[in-house]
Chain A
Amino acid sequence: MQSSKKAKMELSNKTMNVDFVKKVEILSGSSVRRCFQCGKCSAGCPMTSFMEHPPNRVVRLLQLGQGQRVLAGRSIWYCVSCETCTTRCPNKVDLAAIMDALRKLSWDADGPSKESYVQLANRLFIENIRTYGRQYELRLGAAFNMKSGQFLKDLMLGPKLISKGKLKVFHSKNKNIAEIEKIFRRIEEMRKKGEAL
Chain B
Amino acid sequence: MTAHKKHLNYSFYPGCSLHASGREYDISTRAAFKALNVGLKDVPDWFCCGATPAHNVDELLSLSLCAKNLSMAEQVEGDLAVACAACFSRLKTTQHHLKQDDNKRKLVEMAIDGPAPMGKPVKHILEILARDLGLAHLEDSVKKPLMGLKVACYYGCLLTRPPHVPDLDDCEDPSIMEDILRALGAEPVKWSHRMECCGANFTLSRPGVVLKLSGAILESAQLAGAECIMVACPLCHSNLDVRQEDIEDKSSSAYGTPIFYITQLVALALGVSAGKLGFESVIVDPRPLLNKKQLI
Please report A residues at the B interface, Cβ cutoff 8 Å. 27, 29, 46-47, 49-50, 78, 80-84, 86-87, 94, 96, 100, 103-104, 107, 117-118, 120-122, 125-126, 128-129, 133-135, 137, 140-141, 144, 153-154, 157, 160-161, 164-168, 174-176, 179-180, 182-184, 186-187, 190, 195-197
In the complex, A144 Cα to B201 Cα: how many Å? 13
Picked from A125, A157, A165, the residue with its CB within 8 Å of the CB of B51 is A125
A179 touches B68 (CB 8 A): yes
Chain B interface category by residue count: 35 or more
Measured between C-beta atoms, what is the minimum distance from A75 to chain B in Å? 13
Q: Which residues of B contact A134 (CB under 8 A)?
A: 16, 19, 47-48
B242 touches A82 (CB 8 A): no
A141 touches B204 (CB 8 A): yes
In the complex, A120 Cα to B52 Cα: how many Å? 14
In the complex, A64 Cα to B20 Cα: how many Å? 46
Q: Which residues of A contact B110 (CB under 8 A)?
A: 186, 190, 195-196
Write the chain A residue with the least CB distance to B112: A183
| Contacts A80-B199, A164-B281 known; 18 new A-B pairs at CB < 8 A | A46-B196, A78-B209, A80-B157, A81-B200, A83-B157, A84-B161, A96-B162, A118-B202, A122-B53, A128-B48, A129-B48, A129-B65, A135-B51, A144-B205, A175-B45, A176-B47, A186-B110, A186-B112
Consensus secondary structure, chain A interface: helix
- Tell me if B99 counts as interface (CB < 8 A to partner A): no
- Tell me if B60 counts as interface (CB < 8 A to partner A): yes
Q: Which residues of A contact B196 (CB under 8 A)?
A: 46
Write the chain A residue with the least CB distance to B51: A125
- The list of the 4 closest CB pairs from A to B, nearest first, reads A83-B161, A121-B205, A135-B16, A125-B53
- Which B residues, 187 to 213, have Cβ-Cβ distances below 8 Å to chain A? 196-197, 199-202, 204-207, 209, 212-213
Measured between C-beta atoms, what is the minimum distance from B288 to chain A in Å? 17
Please report B residues at the A interface, Cβ cutoff 8 Å. 16-17, 19-23, 45, 47-48, 50-61, 64-65, 68, 72, 101, 107, 110-113, 157-158, 161-163, 171-172, 196-197, 199-202, 204-207, 209, 212-213, 242, 280-283
Picked from A47, A81, A86, A176, the residue with its CB within 8 Å of the CB of B209 is A47
In the complex, A137 Cα to B22 Cα: how many Å? 11
Q: Which residues of B contact A122 (CB under 8 A)?
A: 53, 56-57
B21 touches A104 (CB 8 A): no
B207 touches A174 (CB 8 A): no
Write the chain B residue with the least CB distance to A160: B283
Q: Which residues of A contact B157 (CB under 8 A)?
A: 80-84
B242 touches A81 (CB 8 A): no
A165 touches B281 (CB 8 A): yes
A80 touches B23 (CB 8 A): no
Write the chain B residue with the least CB distance to A148: B205
In the complex, A80 Cα to B213 Cα: how many Å? 11
Q: Which residues of A contact B23 (CB under 8 A)?
A: 165-166
Given contacts A166-B23, A182-B113, contact A187 B200 (CB under 8 A): no
Q: Which residues of B contact A107 (CB under 8 A)?
A: 57-58
B282 touches A164 (CB 8 A): yes
B61 touches A80 (CB 8 A): no
In the complex, A119 Cα to B42 Cα: how many Å? 32
A186 touches B242 (CB 8 A): no
A180 touches B197 (CB 8 A): no
Q: Which residues of B contact A121 (CB under 8 A)?
A: 53, 201, 204-205
Given contacts A80-B199, A126-B61, A174-B47, contact A166 B207 (CB under 8 A): no
